[in-house]
Structure 1
């Protein structure tokens, strides 16, 4: 009788398991990746050179991190240029840089 009871119990438990049919699959759509057109726009690069008088003045561009050097490559736009030297007035002004800009700055002695 014990064997029958275990067998009956096993059948009852098996009947209690989830016997639902799987949900119908969604209609297939085209899953191939669509071709995307990506336009690569290369930023325009220009150069800035600051000619100073006196010639050993310090030139800094205040709104960028890289140190200034003659012919520094920049994207076109406005840059805050500072020219200084001990014993001279400091020049500090916003300059529009485009098309390989060259500016001449003369600072006056104090």
Structure 2
């Protein structure tokens, strides 16, 4: 138990537990399972495995900075995708305008005869 938080680890069910209790625990552990890979990526990609700050306060700062960097990277990747989509639409619009102007210029020009 850490503070007011009770940590539960998956283990074989007690035969005295009801089916409802077993299903509730199984569901809770399934929700928790996807968090493991995220923590591993934080450790590898955002240098959580090395801490250069002092004491417990430094540990807290290190975790907060790593999670902020992780969330910032996720947001930037989403923005990058939407930005590229908007840039593609903008460039296609410009190309259509330029093509139409070039076509008009080609139609309006008189052919030059070279002798």
* Bigger strand share: 1
Alignment TM-score > 0.5, same fold? no
Which TM-score tier does this pair reach, normalised by the shorter chain?
A: under 0.3
Larger radius of gyration: 1
